[in-house]
Structure 1
Amino acid sequence: MKPSLSIIVPVYNNERYLENTLNSVLCQSYEDFELLLIDDGSGDDSLTICHKFAGRDRRVRVICKENGGVSSARNRGLDEAQGKYIAFVDGDDCIDTKMYEVMIDILEGEKADLVNCRVIKESSYEDTPYEVGTIEVSDLPLNYLSKKGYFIDSSLNKVYRRELIGDTRFNETISYSEDKLFVTEVILKARTMALVSNAFYHYIQHKDSLSWKDSEDVWLGNFKVHQQIYRQMEAGGIIGAALDSAFRGYVRSIIALLRYDIKHRRKDAYNQTLMEHETVLKRFLKVTPLPLGKKLEYLTYIASYNLASLVHYYPKRRRS
C-alpha cells in the first residue's frame, strides 16, 4: 500500500547533523509516510547513517546517486516519490512533531493545493510546544508570493499535493534562488493555498554551514530566476500586484548584477549588463512609484560606471 506522504531529504556530507534531522522526521505524529533519503555522493559517513535508519524503520528508503547538487537530489526524490502529498526537509534542519499532521489536516479540510507554515531560524533545534495556529486560505495564491513572514520562497516549509507539482522540477543549472523559481512555478498552477501561523520548520544555522557567496554565479542565478518568473507571469497573462512584484524582483536582480560589477571593478561587465537591460530599467523607473531616495539610488546605478563607482564604491571603500 502506498504511503500518503513522501518526505524528500537530500543528503550531502551531513553526518554531524543528519541524525537529529531524521529523528525529528521519524517522530512525526503523522505516521503514514515514506522518508526518501537521496544521498548525493556524500564523502563522509552520511550514507552509513542513512542505512542505519533504514534498518530501523521500514518507512525509510535510501537512494544513492552521483553528486549533482541539491536540486538534482530533490528531483530524484520527486521521481521516486509514491505519496499523494510531497514535502522536503534539508539534511541539517529539523521539524516539529505535529508539522505534517496539522498541515495535511489543513490540506484536506480546506481542499487546498498546498499549505505553508512559518520558519524558525536558530543555532540548535528546540521543539516548539504546540498551540493551535491561525489558518488563512486564498483562491488567489499568487498574492502570497509577496507576503512577508512566511518564507514563501522556500520549498521546505510546505506540503504539496503531488498532482499540483506534476512534472515541475527544480532547475539544476541555477545555483541560487532555485527554491524561489520552483515554488513560484508551482504556485502559478495552484487554485487554492493555505497558510498556517505555526513555525513548524526549524532552519538550523550552523557555524560551519555554507551560506551564499558573493560570486558571479550567485548573482547570475538570482537574475535568471527573477527574469524567468517575470517572463512566465507576463506570458501567462498575469496582471496586477503579482506581476508588479515580479517586475520589481526582476529589476532588483539587474541592479544586483550592476552592484557586483561595481564592487569588483568590472567595468566591461557593468557596461555589458547595462546595455542589455537599460530599456527594462528605464521602463521600471518611469512606471513604478518609488520614494525619492530609492529612485535616486537606482538612477545613479544606471547613469554610468564612473558615477555609480563614485557614489556606491569609493565611499564604502573609505569607510572600510
Structure 2
Amino acid sequence: MKQPKISIIVPIYNVEKYLDECMLSLLNQTLEDIEIILVDDESSDNCPKMCDEYANKDKRVKVVHKKNGGLGLARNSGLDVATGEYVAFIDSDDFIDLDMMETLYHVAISEKADVVRCGLKFYSANCFKERHDVITKQVFRGRNQVDDFLLDFVGPKPECKRDVKYMVSACCCIHSRKLIEEYKLRFMSERLTLSEDLIWAIDLYTKAQCIVYLPYCFYAYRMNPTSITHNYNMDKYKRNHKFYALIEEKLSYCFPKERYINNILRSKFHYVRIAISNFARQ
C-alpha cells in the first residue's frame, strides 16, 4: 500500500454534536492521499459507533478504541499506528479549511521542513476571528533560528506587546513522522502537566532543523466553554508548578539559564492572568 502523505490523528471523547463537521473537513481535503486516525478515548456517547461508520465508508479512515486516558495519550495511540510522511493533530470539536493539508504538505516538501505551521481562527456563534502570528511566510532554518523561534514559542521577550507571540498548539501544523520516530517522541498526559502541547514542542523543536510558519488561518478553533482548556480548578496550580519545573529542566539541557529565563517568566505571568480570568468567570 502506498504511504500516505499525512496521517491526521483525531482524539475523540464525547463530541458527537461536533464530529460530523470535523470529519467533513477532513474527508474532503484537496490532498486526498491521507489517512485519518480516529482515536475513541472510551466515549460514552454515540462517537464510537460514528467512528466505525466512517471507517466502513472510507478506507482512509482507521479507528482505535481505547480505555480513557486523556488527550495526550490518545494522540500517542494514533502515533503508534500512523504511517504517513507527516503527522497532523486535529481536535475533534474543531475543523479545518479544505486546502490546509495540501498547502502545508507542499511547503514541507519544497522547504524540506520538519514542521509547517499555520494561523488559526477562533470560531464562536457562527463567526470567525482570525489570529495572525506572522503576516508573511517565515522560515526558521538551522539551529540558531529554530532555537530563537522555540524560546519565543515558550514565552515572548519583554518588549513583545503580545503575551503569546506564537499560539501554543500542536494542531495547526504538520510534523515530520520520521523525526518523531527517530527520537521516539510522544505526548505527556494533560492530566499530569498544564500544557502537553508546549512540552511536545520543546521535545520536537530541539531536534528540528527547519520550521516554516505560514500566515494563512486554516484551522478553526471552536470556542467550546466545556473544553478542558477553558475550565478552572485548583488542581491546575499543582500541575502548573510541575509544568514550569519540567520546562526549565528541558530547556536547561539546551541553553544557559540566562537565555531562557525571561521567556519562562513571561509565560508564567500570562498563565496567572488566565487563571484569574477563568476563576472570575465561574
How would you bin the TM-score normalised by the shorter chain?
A: 0.7 to 0.9
Residue 171 of structure 1 is matched in structure 2 by 188
Deviation at 1:125, TM superposition (A): 6.2
Q: Describe the shift of the 1:251–1:39 C-alpha distance in structure 2 as closer, same or farther (beyond 3 A).
A: closer
Q: Indicate the SS of the match to 1:68.
A: coil
Q: 1:218 aligns with which of 225, 236, 242?
A: 236
Deviation at 1:159, TM superposition (A): 0.4
Deviation at 1:210, TM superposition (A): 4.6
Q: Describe the shift of the 1:15–1:178 C-alpha distance in structure 2 as closer, same or farther (beyond 3 A).
A: same
Residue 229 of structure 1 is matched in structure 2 by 247
Task: Tell me which moved more, 169-178 or 12-21.
Answer: 169-178
Q: 1:155 aligns with which of 170, 176, 191?
A: 170
Alignment of 1:239-318 (within 5 A): 241=259, 243-249=260-266, 252=269, 256=272
Name which one, 1 or 2, has greater alpha-carbon Rg.
1
Mapped to 2, the partners of 1:103 and 1:75 lie a distance apart of 22
Residue 280 of structure 1 is matched in structure 2 by none
Amino acid at match of 2:218: F
Mapped to 2, the partners of 1:97 and 1:127 lie a distance apart of 16
Q: Describe the shift of the 1:238–1:192 C-alpha distance in structure 2 as closer, same or farther (beyond 3 A).
A: farther
Relative contact order higher in (CA < 8 Å, ≥ 6 apart) = 2
Amino acid at match of 2:186: R
Amino acid at match of 1:202: A
Residue 37 of structure 1 is matched in structure 2 by 38
Tell me the TM-score normalized by structure 1.
0.72
Query: Is there any run of 5+ residues in structure 2 with no aligned partner, and where?
Result: 130-134, 154-161
Percent of pairs with identical residues: 31
Amino acid at match of 1:153: V
Mapped to 2, the partners of 1:88 and 1:238 lie a distance apart of 32
Deviation at 1:80, TM superposition (A): 1.0
Alignment of 1:67-78 (within 5 A): 67-78=68-79
Q: Describe the shift of the 1:191–1:238 C-alpha distance in structure 2 as closer, same or farther (beyond 3 A).
A: farther
Alignment of 1:6-155 (within 5 A): 6-123=7-124, 134-139=136-141, 140-145=145-150, 146=152, 151-155=166-170
Structure in which a larger fraction of residues adopt helix? 1
String of CA shifts for 1:110-140, please: whole Å, max 9, x gaps: 1111011001011156799xxxx83210122
Task: Tell me which moved more, 49-58 or 18-27.
Answer: 49-58
Tell me the TM-score normalized by structure 2.
0.81
Query: Is there any run of 5+ residues in structure 1 with no aligned partner, and where?
Result: 265-315
Structure in which a larger fraction of residues adopt strand? 2
RMSD, aligned CA: 2.8
